[in-house]
Amino acid sequence: MTDLNIGVVGSAGRMGQSLVREIIQTDGVRLVAASERAEHPALGRDVGSTAGVDVLGIKITDNAREVFEEAESVIEFSGPEATVGHASLAAAVGVCHVIGTTGLSQGDETALGAAAERTPIFWAPNMSLGVNVLIALAEQAANALSDDFDIEILEMHHRHKVDAPSGTALALGQAVAKGRDVDLGRVSQRARDGITGERRRGDIGFAVLRGGDVVGNHSVILAGENDRLELTHQATSRQIFAAGAVRAAIWLQPQPPGLYRMRDMLGFAG
């Protein structure tokens, strides 16, 4: 069995560097190409030295098409607009595409679905296996407990994160809404300030914290009159996201065209 050839888009960013390190440490995969956005200071540099490992002989290019043409699977953590464009490119070339980008709109998700009609695409707002177990548990807990229990979702990330709530927090919100069979858009409460009045029964609240170098903390709190259930995950290294993405690339390779999520890889029902 030959190694799976992987390309990385956004290879000089924090997650891109983590991906490079993960790929070279993982049996059965091989890094073959890497790219960054135009005018990035890392362009032309060796992707290995940029990631703090040995020189790999792979220069970082600003041509994403070259990455998709050279690789069998491309992994990407970038911005929504770039990701949607790259998904179309993956469909045109016929390459598997693993996406960890957050902040995608409903229209962006629709675009991913259209591209996935022609090639396998894997999208997860959080590539951590532990977080995705948390998402499954949150859905089950919301389903088991009535709306006598108020649900609040709390997340904290580093000061550089640009979207809020995080994609993982929104995924948790979707999970608990599904568990209660309600529309998240109808019951979501994302901001409280001033005299807000009493909390509405059935609302799903979100609270966002930003600061320091926090990799990612997420909690789902189900608060009743006499007891409280808290489900929490804390990420201590971005390497967990890289590991999940590489595992997804390996899993995705033999799959037929379609839009896949973490629950598909982990074998969760629903």
- CATH among 3.30.360.10, 3.90.1170.10, 3.30.930.10, 3.20.20.10 for 129-235: 3.30.360.10
pLDDT at residue 116 greater than cutoff 90: yes
Q: What is the pLDDT of residues 218-254, one digit of tens each?
A: 999 999 999 999 999 999 988 999 999 999 999 999 9
pLDDT score recorded for residue 268 = 81
Which run of H or E residues covers position 225?
none
pLDDT tier, 270 (very low <50, low <70, confident <90, very high otherwise) = low
Share of the chain above pLDDT 70, in %: 99
**Is 97 a residue of the active site?**
no
Q: What is the pLDDT of residues 21-79, one digit of tens each?
A: 999 999 999 999 999 999 999 999 999 999 999 999 999 999 999 999 999 999 999 99
Q: Give me the long-range contacts of 237-241 (CB less than 8 A, separation at least 24).
A: 238/14, 238/15, 238/18, 239/18, 239/21, 239/22, 240/127, 240/128, 240/129, 240/130, 241/15, 241/18, 241/77, 241/100, 241/126, 241/127, 241/128
pLDDT score recorded for residue 33 = 97
Tell me which of 97, 157, 218, 233 is the catalytic residue.
Answer: 157
pLDDT score recorded for residue 269 = 64
Q: Which CATH class is domain 4-123+238-266?
A: alpha beta
pTM: 0.82
Angle at 172 between CA 169 and CA 173, to 5 degrees: 90
pLDDT score recorded for residue 29 = 97
E strands in the chain = 4-9, 29-35, 60-61, 73-76, 96-99, 120-123, 150-157, 188-189, 204-210, 216-223, 228-235, 258-260
Q: Is 132 helix (H, G, I), strand (E, B) or coil?
A: helix
pLDDT score recorded for residue 1 = 66
Name the nearest CA neighbour of 81 among 60, 63, 107: 107
Q: Is 263 exposed, middle or buried (0-12, 13-18, 19+ CB in 10 A)?
A: middle
> Using the 8-state DSSP alphabet, how is residue 62 labeled?
S
pLDDT score recorded for residue 127 = 93
pLDDT score recorded for residue 86 = 97
Share of the chain above pLDDT 90, in %: 91
- The mean pLDDT value of the chain amounts to 95
**Is 59 a residue of the active site?**
no
**Could you state, in order of their start, the residue ranges of all structural domains in the chain?**
4-123+238-266, 129-235
Tell me which of 161, 178, 218, 233 is the catalytic residue.
Answer: 161
Q: What is the pLDDT of residues 101-114, one digit of tens each?
A: 988 999 999 999 99
